[in-house]
Amino acid sequence: MSSQRAQRLAETIHKEISNLLIKGLKDPRIGFVTITSVDVTSDLRQARVYYTLMASQDDRSETKAGLDSCSSYIRQQLGRVLRLRFIPEIHFEYDTSVDYGQHIEKLLREVKTDEQQDD
């Protein structure tokens, strides 16, 4: 039962943080960020928020710093919506799955062009 509750909470956190990002946070370091997923621990005390953005490594670290600095504001806004005794601590993590997928696609294209050159 608690895993269903954690999943519902993760979906709600995903939706609310996405809405906050759409409305715009005041930190100029936060650019166009997409929340890809949220994992909540079974005790509902910690939430790991995965995000992605199309930017250079420097911009990624700037965005991470901006998101980390806004985490208390985000928790405050979540508190208004969630109505829980304890609002989960928010930890932002860059989602590398998009980069990994692009790398795999690039490798597949290279293999395909090599096969076409051999024929």
pTM of the model: 0.81
CA 106, 38, 75, 79 torsion-angle sign: positive
Tens digits of per-residue pLDDT, 55-107? Answer: 777 788 888 999 999 999 999 999 988 888 889 999 999 998 888 888 899 99
List the CATH code of the domain at 2-118. 3.30.300.20
Average pLDDT over residues 20-49: 89
According to the per-residue pLDDT averaged within each range, which of 19-28, 37-46, 53-62 is highest?
37-46
Q: What is the pLDDT of residue 1?
A: 35
Helices within the chain (DSSP H only): 2-23, 57-82, 97-118
Neighbours of 70 (CB within 10 A): 21
